[in-house]
A and B are shown apart, each in its own frame.
Chain A
């Protein structure tokens, strides 16, 4: 069961989906608890969060609203002409370190941030589909070599990519062993479990980079959209859709 804060954050995402009339629904909903715990409990001002799976940006925007970095009214203009917030994060937005959207870029950028200042921690959130990209594994080799103990990659493992299941499109298993072999210290847990996230997201440096395999559900929180490929990205997201999803969330 989602607690009130997790529901509130999803309602805010729905507000932006209605505001923009579109957006990535499933990929944002699977990320909510990860982003929530990062911003609420883990990061300090000098730390860096890179949402490498940029299409999950709504889950980051709502946290930036929570932290007072952007005004909530910006959610209502999401993706509209001249808006601050678009369909992928951009570095001109307060609280966004780098622009992402093309997949497979964030981990290398994160290595650069982590190497430049070893005393700050860098969290890079990647999607499971995203780690099909070869550049992710170039970066994994590099992070392992540098023993970047201030770098954490968080994998939103919702088991579904755009076309179908990860198992069908490009299987990743054994995923834990893959990251371990590249030199990462790996934790694997339920990515909607706020207590587990609080417990395992690293607050201190280590001698090796971390990989957090977060088992999640695409569209988590609303039965109608959970694991439904139709809800990966929605083009005509109406106020009725918003009302229906909000009601389902509270049910």
Chain B
């Protein structure tokens, strides 16, 4: 997904001279073609995220469209005030691309786990949040990021994420599973087990959340389960709960994601997710329990 995203930045930049790329201290060889072919619009600014984001805002306020990329935690936690004020307050056309959204960096420990990035970005007025589930969706959505008015946070999953079968599986079931990002791959796995017993809806735009569509999809549903590679505080589950409660929907509601802890224990991303219940088995079990309740 990361490769596809960065390749799209390169492709889009070839067509639009306003596009600029800024990285912090990315891996050797990243965006080599961009640097070679468009050196005036390529910046690698070192391990100083506050400066990188402020500089991106200054460029955007001068008419550039700035794609700004580093590890998600350093963009959203480290440089939060620059993102909020320099980018957010000025509604600047900066696209923040966060690598390792969620628990991608599980083996590297809690300093690298971006399980609060969506929550942080959601608090910034006017920030659009894009969380695709696979490289294919990333490729489809990236062109829309060029002429978008205002700031965006683009959340990347892992490098070679497998493609998701379908983003919306509609059934007459009373249960709706909603998911975002690469957690949709897990939710889709659960759908393959449960099939017509649940509907599945993948949400790539977390902010603004399409509340009208949400209201349409939840009509007639009595159970909603949200699945995300993120804390249950402030992410998809929170956004959906807020919208649902205000829309008058009532029913059973369950968030699956990281609880209110710093996830620990290392291992692979899948191992860490499974340890905290973000797994096909746990989704299936949760749905069955809730289905029992509803009959």
Q: Which residues of A contact B (CB under 8 A)?
A: 91, 97-99, 102, 104-105, 107-117, 134-135, 138-139, 141-142
Q: How long is the Cα–Cα vector from A47 to B227 in the complex, in angstroms?
A: 50
Q: How long is the Cα–Cα vector from A84 to B227 in the complex, in angstroms?
A: 45
Per-residue CB contact flags for chain B residues 43-60 toward chain A (1 = under 8 Å, else 0) read 101101011111111111
Please name all residues of chain B whose beta carbon is closer than 8 Å to the beta carbon of A110 when the two chains form the complex. Answer: 58
Q: How long is the Cα–Cα vector from A105 to B90 in the complex, in angstroms?
A: 13
Contact A98 B90 (CB under 8 A): yes
Contact status of A112 and B48, CB under 8 A, knowing A98-B90, A135-B82 = no
Can you list 23 A-B pairs, Cβ within 8 angstroms, ordered by A?
A97-B61, A98-B86, A98-B90, A99-B85, A99-B90, A102-B85, A105-B82, A108-B54, A108-B55, A108-B57, A109-B55, A109-B86, A110-B58, A111-B54, A112-B55, A112-B58, A112-B60, A116-B62, A117-B62, A138-B50, A138-B51, A139-B51, A139-B55
Please name all residues of chain B whose beta carbon is closer than 8 Å to the beta carbon of A99 when the two chains form the complex. Answer: 85, 89-90
Q: How long is the Cα–Cα vector from A99 to B85 in the complex, in angstroms?
A: 8
Per-residue CB contact flags for chain B residues 21-50 toward chain A (1 = under 8 Å, else 0) read 000000000000000000000010110101
Q: Specify which of B43, B45, B57, B63 is in contact with A109 (CB 8 Å cutoff).
A: B57
**A-B interface, 5 closest residue pairs, ranked by CB to CB distance from nearest:** A112-B58, A108-B54, A116-B62, A138-B48, A138-B51
Contact status of A112 and B62, CB under 8 A, knowing A91-B90, A138-B48, A142-B45 = yes
Q: How long is the Cα–Cα vector from A113 to B63 in the complex, in angstroms?
A: 10
Contact status of A112 and B90, CB under 8 A, knowing A98-B61, A99-B85, A138-B48 = no
**7 additional A-B residue pairs with CB within 8 Å, beyond A108-B51, A113-B62:** A98-B61, A105-B86, A107-B54, A110-B58, A116-B64, A135-B51, A142-B46
Please name all residues of chain B whose beta carbon is closer than 8 Å to the beta carbon of A91 when the two chains form the complex. Answer: 89-90
* Total A-B residue contacts, Cβ distance less than 8 Å: 87
Q: Which residues of B contact A (CB under 8 A)?
A: 20, 43, 45-46, 48, 50-64, 81-82, 85-86, 89-90
Contact B81 A142 (CB under 8 A): no
What's the minimum C-beta distance from A168 to chain B, rounded to whole angstroms? 26
Please name all residues of chain B whose beta carbon is closer than 8 Å to the beta carbon of A102 when the two chains form the complex. Answer: 81, 85
Q: How long is the Cα–Cα vector from A113 to B86 in the complex, in angstroms?
A: 12
